[in-house]
Amino acid sequence: MIQVDRARPTLHAVPPIARIEPLTTARALRGPFDYLLGPGLEHVQVGTLLVVPFAGRDVLGVVVELAGETGVPPEKLAAPRSVVEPGVPAELVALARWITDEYCSTPARALGLVLPPGAGRATRPRVRTRRVLVAEATDAGRAALADGGQRLTPKQREVLETLAAAGPLPATQTGGDHGGLRRLADRGLLQLEQREQRRRPVHAAVGARNGAAPPRLTAEQIAALEPIVAALEAGDGALSPADRRFLLHGVTGSGKTEVYLQAAAAALRAGRNVIVLVPEIALAPQTVARFQARFGDTVAVLHSQLGQGERYDEWMRLRRGEARICVGPRSAVFAPLADVGLVIVDEEHEPAYKHEGDPRYDARRVAARRAHDAGAVLLSGSATPRPESVHALRRLRILRRVDGRPLPPVEILDMRDARHPLHPVTREALGDVRRAGRKAIVLVNRRGWSNFLSCRSCGRVWNCPECDVALVLHRSQRAVSCHHCGHSERVPRTCPDCGSVSLARHGAGTERIEQELIEAIGDPAFPVFRLDADTTATKGAIAKALGQFDAAPAGVLVGTQIVAKGHDFPDVTLGVVLDADQTLRFPDFRAEERTFSLVAQLAGRAGRGQHGDGRVLVQTLATDAPSIVAAARHDSDGFLAGELGRREILRYPPFASLIRVVCSAPDAADAHAAADAVARLVDAPGATVLGPAPLFRLRGKERSQLVIKATQRRAAVQSVAAAVDAVARTPVGRRVSLSADVDPQ
Ligand SMILES: Nc1ncnc2c1ncn2[C@@H]1O[C@H](COP(=O)(O)OP(=O)(O)OP(=O)(O)O)[C@@H](O)[C@H]1O
Ligand SMILES: [Zn+2]
């Protein structure tokens, strides 16, 4: 490896040079590095994976540029050792390089996002295509069966008959052994061949009711689809990039998925390929199933719950163009499709689009970038879009549900004097649903039994020893646990400070509400299903629970936010939100947006079927909160206008970009000093630095935070990245871990 002296470049014209980013974790080394492409490597392109000698060992590297000259004397250039197949498309290399700069990351980390499944840092691929030996009868073999001209043993006849009837079969399914098959192959009676076998992922199909035939669109769906299709059919350069970015803002139940499906069909007709992002694969079984029902094997699904072999095969199908639609969560934005013509972002308001590890990318922003680079149409959709998207994208409205029903009326229930977690009106309404044999959904945005425990005599509160937060009681596990670090201990019986045995439980989570509902309803024919992180820890559990609720003739689904996510159950007539202001109590500029979307999304689950109108109840202490009032009126335009006005005054996104820097260390003074040092170094036009401010202790680490508000995003990101790097190298910086998060959620 040779570091180029960029200050005094003496350029040498030489045979092809590959600029390669080695996939190492070292932050200090700044690539790319030049390597000489000798004989046998003429076919190397941008995106080719190569094993290269680097810092005394062999590492995997990605070609990011080809060049005809170099600043390194040619005799000092090393040569790559070997090519590792498959490589990645050049456009994904460009996307990864953009992410490096956009999200304060490193080239190796960003390139790690676009590699084929299984090709981590190892210099040898860990997964490959699976091959099986396949036997197929030849014409001679068929003739031998028919005229008996060839001598065949009964066993040989049986094998040939099987193959003649079934067509090509894996050798193990022919009934013959290996030697026997070989002998028949040698006589030309059958053909033996290694063929690729696809590992096919299986998906739970929840409620894919609409089969493969598209329904007739409503007038509003047609009006929304028209400009999208026009943009897909417009030639290159006919439209500006801004005219290719759409926001489908349709009320819950307005048939947005159908618009996506038909837009995808239009893209395929135009010869282009499609990426469909969903917030979380486990929460989107209906969307996945609808795409598969409509497009069959043209759809590949990519997500982390697949086995590595399945993921590899799906990735290869996309890479080779055998599959032309990729459906998946945020990482599917890196699908290796060529010629992408349409990128869909479903439920674009969902925080799951933000990746919380380095690189801390926002898949919505990456989707916009990828669409821009590919000349593709971007189609984001939601019933409760983010103010950012309303501000930036061409908005297409759908105001009515496909079934022509109005959105259900929403009542706000004042809980300020309540003694019981369920308001009397809520109890009554549940009774009505039970008598009518329908379904209800109850949202409690917190799992566990109660939020915290305190001692009635001395006031002690049980906190996590590692984090500054209260421990939550989980009765069935007989434990109190921390929802931040997972710390868990036995439920206390006495107070260790004063010895009192009188302990108070405060608040109600899903576990307690489940119990309250069972007691209040008291009817085995009206079951209560609970859906939260505790009941769905195992793979496939969410889809299973949703499937059970869907299949039940009647009942209640109680759970955390999961219950409000885009599900389409036709017989839900009541939706209830408990403690609706809980999300407002977070000190976060998105608190209003989150609260509005939670209430509006839950409201959207009710009254979608032919069973008459739905009803929605919102229990809250903050009956006047603008986000709750607006959601109760289904007034998303009013809410968005108010929210955009507020953000403009306060300079929050979309009127500025936010960058958050968190410094954490065992010692609070170190964390604060590091944050302070970063604050002093950040210097970019139009950027203001807020903080340092203390954050609550997490996993035993004291934390200090800065928030940078920037009007010139790129300059601010660069300045923050440089400041963080500089502070990390100081004595105090070595005792602190620093992370920079662009577009924090
Ligand atoms: N034109 C149509 N005619 C009849 N049924 C339709 C039509 N379009 C969509 N549907 C059906 O209406 C139901 C609701 O559609 P869909 O789930 O796409 O709504 P949505 O807008 O995505 O709602 P949400 O925002 O709540 O997720 C689905 O069962 C879908 O198959
Ligand atoms: Zn903890």
Q: What pLDDT is attached to residue 8?
A: 53
Mark which of 112, 146, 172 sits at the end of a domain. 112
Question: Which ligand lies nearest the alpha carbon of 465?
Answer: 2
Q: Which range, of 245-259, 492-506, 530-544, 728-742, averages the lowest pLDDT?
A: 530-544
CA atoms within a 13 Å half-sphere pointing along the CA-CB vector of 532: 21
Does residue 415 lie within any of the structural domains? yes
Q: What is the DSSP string of 448-496?
A: SSBSEEEETTT--B-B-SSSSSBPEEETTTTEEE-TTT--EEEPPSS-T
Q: Are residues 324 and 180 in the same domain?
A: no
Q: What pLDDT is attached to residue 209?
A: 47
Q: Are residues 168 and 260 in the same domain?
A: no
Q: What would the pLDDT profile of 509-565 be if each residue is shown by its tens digit?
A: 999 999 999 998 888 889 999 999 888 888 778 888 888 999 999 999 999 988 888
**Is 464 known as a binding-site position?**
yes
Read off the pLDDT band of 125 (50, 70, 90). Answer: low
Does residue 254 lie within any of the structural domains? yes
Residues in contact with 687: Cβ distance below 8 Å, sequence separation at least 6, in sequence order: 708, 709, 710, 711, 712, 715, 716, 719
Q: Which range, of 305-319, 489-503, 530-544, 710-724, averages the lowest pLDDT?
A: 530-544
Does residue 731 lie within any of the structural domains? yes
**Is 485 known as a binding-site position?**
yes
Q: Are residues 376 and 307 in the same domain?
A: yes
Q: How many independent structural domains does the chain possess?
A: 5
Contact 409, 615 (CB under 8 A): yes
Residue 462 Cα to ligand 2 midpoint, Å, equals: 11
Q: What share of the chain is helix, strand, coil (3-state, %, to 5)?
A: 35, 25, 40
Residue identified by tokens 């389409």 is: 568
Cα separation, 317 vs 326, whole angstroms: 10
Residue 255 Cα to ligand 1 midpoint, Å, equals: 3
Mark which of 593, 626, 649 sits at the end of a domain. 649
Domain that holds residue 57: 12-112
Does residue 3 lie within any of the structural domains? no
Q: Are residues 361 and 394 in the same domain?
A: yes
Q: Does residue 604 have its Cβ closer than 6 Å to ligand 1?
A: yes
pLDDT of residue 604 exceeding 80: yes
Q: Does residue 380 have its Cβ closer than 6 Å to ligand 1?
A: no
pLDDT of residue 662 exceeding 90: yes
Cα separation, 174 vs 366, whole angstroms: 49
Cα separation, 50 vs 83, whole angstroms: 4
Q: Are residues 324 and 375 in the same domain?
A: yes
Q: Does residue 256 have its Cβ closer than 6 Å to ligand 1?
A: yes
Q: Does residue 457 have its Cβ closer than 6 Å to ligand 1?
A: no
Cis peptide before 32 (omega within 30 of 0): yes
* Backbone phi, psi, residue 18, to 5°: -105, 130
Atom 1 of ligand 1, residue of closest alpha carbon: 217
Q: What would the pLDDT profile of 391-439 be if each residue is shown by its tens digit?
A: 999 999 999 999 888 899 999 999 999 889 999 999 999 999 999 999 9
pTM over 0.80: yes
Residue 667 Cα to ligand 1 midpoint, Å, equals: 53
Residue identified by tokens 């026009």 is: 230
Q: Are residues 587 and 698 in the same domain?
A: no
Element containing residue 440 per DSSP (H, E): strand 439-444
> In this structure, what CATH number is given to the domain that contains residue 281?
3.40.50.300
Contact 50, 111 (CB under 8 A): no
Q: Are residues 154 and 261 in the same domain?
A: no
Read off the pLDDT band of 126 (50, 70, 90). Answer: low
Residues β-bridged to residue 698: 701
Does residue 706 lie within any of the structural domains? yes
Residue 252 Cα to ligand 1 midpoint, Å, equals: 8
**Is 663 known as a binding-site position?**
no
Residue 223 amino acid letter: A
> In this structure, what CATH number is given to the domain that contains residue 24?
3.40.1440.60
Q: What pLDDT is attached to residue 645?
A: 97
Best residue among 206, 257, 407 to mutate for probing ligand 1, ranked by most atoms within 8 Å of CB: 257
pLDDT of residue 612 exceeding 70: no
Cα separation, 350 vs 451, whole angstroms: 25
Q: Does residue 218 have its Cβ closer than 6 Å to ligand 1?
A: yes
Contact 416, 621 (CB under 8 A): yes
Cα separation, 251 vs 400, whole angstroms: 7
**From the alpha carbon of 210, which atom of ligand 1 is closest?**
31
Q: Strands 340-345, 245-250: parallel, antiparallel or unpaired by DSSP?
A: unpaired
Residue 165 Cα to ligand 2 midpoint, Å, equals: 64
Atom 4 of ligand 1, residue of closest alpha carbon: 215
Q: Map residue 357 onto helix, strand or coil.
A: coil
Atom 24 of ligand 1, residue of closest alpha carbon: 252
Q: Does residue 575 have its Cβ closer than 6 Å to ligand 1?
A: no
Q: What is the number of residues in the chain?
A: 745
* Backbone phi, psi, residue 251, to 5°: -60, 165
Cα separation, 527 vs 534, whole angstroms: 19
Atom 28 of ligand 1, residue of closest alpha carbon: 255
Q: Are residues 246 and 340 in the same domain?
A: yes
Does residue 465 lie within any of the structural domains? no
**Positive/negative CA dihedral, 259, 260, 266, 270:** positive
Q: What would the pLDDT profile of 613-658 be if each residue is shown by its tens digit?
A: 799 999 999 999 999 999 999 999 999 999 999 999 999 999 999 9
Best residue among 249, 568, 599, 610 to mutate for probing ligand 1, ranked by most atoms within 8 Å of CB: 568
Q: What pLDDT is attached to residue 148?
A: 67
Residue 142 amino acid letter: R
Residue 229 Cα to ligand 1 midpoint, Å, equals: 19
Which carries the bigger pLDDT value, residue 284 or residue 690? 690
Q: Are residues 270 and 300 in the same domain?
A: yes
Residue 277 Cα to ligand 1 midpoint, Å, equals: 18
pLDDT of residue 124 exceeding 70: no
Q: What would the pLDDT profile of 27-36 be if each residue is shown by its tens digit?
A: 666 789 999 9
Does residue 320 lie within any of the structural domains? yes
Question: Which ligand lies nearest the alpha carbon of 220?
Answer: 1
pLDDT of residue 312 exceeding 50: yes
Q: Are residues 164 and 271 in the same domain?
A: no
Residue identified by tokens 């067509």 is: 167
> In this structure, what CATH number is given to the domain that contains residue 688?
3.30.70.600
At 176, list the tokens: 């013959």
Residue 174's nearest CA partner among 131, 133, 145 is: 133
Q: Are residues 91 and 138 in the same domain?
A: no
* ipTM of this complex: 0.96
Mark which of 620, 649, 678 sits at the end of a domain. 649
Does residue 164 lie within any of the structural domains? yes
The pLDDT mean for the chain works out to 90
Q: What pLDDT is attached to residue 9?
A: 55
Q: What would the pLDDT profile of 176-192 be if each residue is shown by its tens digit?
A: 888 889 999 999 899 99
Residues in contact with 708: Cβ distance below 8 Å, sequence separation at least 6, in sequence order: 658, 659, 660, 661, 682, 687, 688, 689, 690, 716, 720
Q: What would the pLDDT profile of 667-716 be if each residue is shown by its tens digit?
A: 999 999 999 999 999 999 999 999 999 999 999 999 999 999 999 999 99
Across 560-588, average pLDDT: 88
Q: Does residue 603 have its Cβ closer than 6 Å to ligand 1?
A: no
Atom 15 of ligand 1, residue of closest alpha carbon: 255
Q: Which range, of 13-17, 153-157, 419-423, 515-519, averages the lowest pLDDT?
A: 13-17
Q: Are residues 140 and 103 in the same domain?
A: no
Q: To the nearest whole percent, how much of the chain has pLDDT over 70?
A: 94
SS3 assignment for 254-292: CCHHHHHHHHHHHHHHCCCEEEEECCCHHHCHHHHHHHH
Atom 29 of ligand 1, residue of closest alpha carbon: 568
